[in-house]
Chains A and B, each alone.
Chain A
Amino acid sequence: MKIPDMRYIITGIVVFLVVMTFPFWYNIGKAASAPQVSLDTPRIREMAEPQCVEPASYMRANHMRLLEEWRDRVVRGGERTYVAGDGKEYLMSLQNTCLDCHSNYDEFCALCHDYAGVAPDCWTCHLEFPRESK
C-alpha cells in the first residue's frame, strides 16, 4: 500500500527531531563545566582567611537577593550597616564592599553571568569595567 503523503510526514518527523534535539547537537564538543571564578584580587590576597559576607554556597544562589535587600535597606531605609549571619558587620554597598574585594569583573562576575545567560544591569551605573566579551 502506497501512501502518497508519507514523504511529507517523514519530512515533518525529521524537522521535529532536529528541532527537539537542538540542545544536543548545539553543544557537541563543548566542555560544559561551570566556569571557575577567580578570587585572586589584591584585597582578597590581603585577607588571612578569605571570607565573603555570607557563606559562598549561600552567595552563589542568593547574591542577587542579598543585593536587592541591601538596595532597599540603604536607599529606602537609610541603613548602612549589615549584620551578617556570623555577627560581623559590613557596610552595605555594592561598590565599596562587594566590588572592593571582587574587583576582577571579567574573571568573576562576567564568567557566571555569561555562562548562565543573564545580563544584570548593575554595571550600567556602578563602576565601569572594561567589557570585551559583549
Chain B
Amino acid sequence: MGVAFSLAVVGVLILAITLAVEVLGLRFLVGAVLPYVAVAVFLGGMVYRLLGWGRSPVPFRIPTTGGQQRSLPWIKPSSLDNPSSTAGVIGRMALEILLFRSLFRNTKAELHGGPHLAYHWEKWLWLGALVFHWSMLLVVIRHLRFFTDPVPSFVYWVEGIDGFLRVGLRALYLTDITLLLGVTYLLLRRFFIPQVRYISLPGDYVPLFLLLGIGLSGVLMRYFVGVDVAAVKELALGVLTFRPRIPEGIGVLFYIHWGLVCALLAYFPFSKLVHMGGIFLTPTRNLPNDSRARRHVNPWNYPVKVHTYEEYEEEFREKMKLAGIPVEKE
C-alpha cells in the first residue's frame, strides 16, 4: 500500500513535469518559477521547524546514554558517550553527524528456539546510511559547477577525486554509483526485513523514490543521453542571479531531474528529511549529562507564593496560645 502510493506520487510528478514541458510548453514554469517556490518553501520551512524546536521546552537533561557518567574520580567516565562538558558534547555531536555513531550501535534482536533472545551484529544500516549520506554530500558539492561562475577550486578537487575512474574518455563518478547503491539498499531493507516493512509508511518511501528518481535521471543524463551542459548552466545561473531565462535545446530529462529536485526541496521541511536540522537539536545528544554536578532549574518555573511557618505563627499566635498549641516565639 505505502509502496504503491509512494511510487504513484513520484510517477505522477514525473508525468506532470513531462506533460508541462512537452505538451503544454510550460518550460518557464518548471525551469524558472518552480525553483524559487521550492527554495523559499525549503528555507522558510526549515527555519520555521528549527525555531519551533528551539522554542520547545527542554527542562532537564535526558541522560539516555551508552556509557559511564562522570562521577567519582576513580571511576573512568565515558566522555564521548556520556559527556559532562561542552567539549564532550561537541565531540559526541560530531561523531553522530559525521559518522552516525547511534546507528553503529544498532543490533538485531532475534528469538532462537524458544525463549532465547540473541542480539546479532548488524552494521548494514549504518554502512548503507553512511554511504548514502556522504555520496549525497559529494554529489551536491560536485553540482556546484552548475551553480557557480567561476567554479571554485574545491569543486574541481572533489570532481578530480570522485572521478578518478574512467569509462571511455569521461570520468565515472564513484559517488554516482555509491549514491544509487545506498538509496537502493535503504529501499530494499524496507521491502525485505519484515519488521521494517511493517512500520514503513508512505513518508518513508516517498523520499527514497524521489531520491532514486533524481539519481537515475542524473545518471541517465550524464552517461547515456546527452544534454547541452552549457545551456543547463545558463538556466541555473539565470535563476540564481534572478534573471531567469530558458535556453533552447534542453531535453525533457533535464526538466524531470530539475523538477524532482524542486519537489524534494519543497517536501523537505514537512518530511522525515528534516532530520538534517533536527539532528542538531536532539536533546538526548546535545546536552551534557551533568545533572548531578549542576542544578538545573526549570526555566519556566513561575514564582510560587508560599506561606512559611513563621508567617503562619505570626498570624495565628494568639489563637494558638489560647488553644494550647506550642509556639516557637513567645
A119 touches B156 (CB 8 A): yes
Name the A residues within 8 Å of B55 (CB-CB): 3
Range, interface on chain A: 35 or more
Interface residues of A (CB under 8 A from B): 1-6, 9-10, 12-13, 16-17, 20-24, 26-30, 32-35, 57-58, 60-62, 64-65, 67-68, 71-72, 112, 114-120, 122
Name the B residues within 8 Å of A64 (CB-CB): 169-170, 226
Name the A residues within 8 Å of B238 (CB-CB): 32-33
B46 touches A16 (CB 8 A): yes
CA distance A10 to B155 in the complex (A): 29
Name the B residues within 8 Å of A32 (CB-CB): 149, 234, 237-238, 240-241, 243
Known A-B contacts A1-B300, A21-B43, A117-B155; A67 and B226 likewise in contact (beta carbons under 8 Å): no
A60 touches B249 (CB 8 A): yes
B230 touches A71 (CB 8 A): no
Which of A2, A6, A34, A122 has the most chain B CB within a 10 Å cutoff?
Answer: A34
Known A-B contacts A60-B249, A115-B230; A9 and B169 likewise in contact (beta carbons under 8 Å): no
B46 touches A3 (CB 8 A): no
A116 touches B43 (CB 8 A): no
Which residue of the partner chain, among A24, A33, A114, contacts B150 with CB atoms under 8 Å?
A114
Grouping DSSP codes into helix (H, G, I), strand (E, B) and loop, the A interface class, with mixed when no group exceeds half, is helix
CA distance A134 to B116 in the complex (A): 67
Range, interface on chain B: 35 or more
A30 touches B230 (CB 8 A): no
A57 touches B241 (CB 8 A): no
At the interface with chain A, which of B139-147, B209-217, B319-327? Answer: B139-147
B102 within 8 A of A: no
A30 touches B149 (CB 8 A): yes
Known A-B contacts A9-B51, A13-B47, A23-B240; A112 and B230 likewise in contact (beta carbons under 8 Å): yes
Mark interface residues in B150-187 (1 if CB within 8 Å of A CB, else 0).
11100110011000000011100000000000000000
In the complex, the chain B residue whose C-beta lies closest to that of A6 is B54
Name the B residues within 8 Å of A5 (CB-CB): 54, 58
Name the B residues within 8 Å of A2 (CB-CB): 299
B230 touches A116 (CB 8 A): yes
B229 within 8 A of A: yes
B247 touches A34 (CB 8 A): yes
Given contacts A16-B50, A57-B228, A115-B233, could you give 17 more A-B pairs where the C-beta distance is less than 8 Å?
Answer: A2-B299, A6-B54, A9-B50, A13-B51, A17-B43, A17-B47, A22-B144, A26-B152, A30-B241, A32-B240, A33-B237, A60-B230, A65-B226, A71-B169, A116-B145, A116-B146, A118-B145
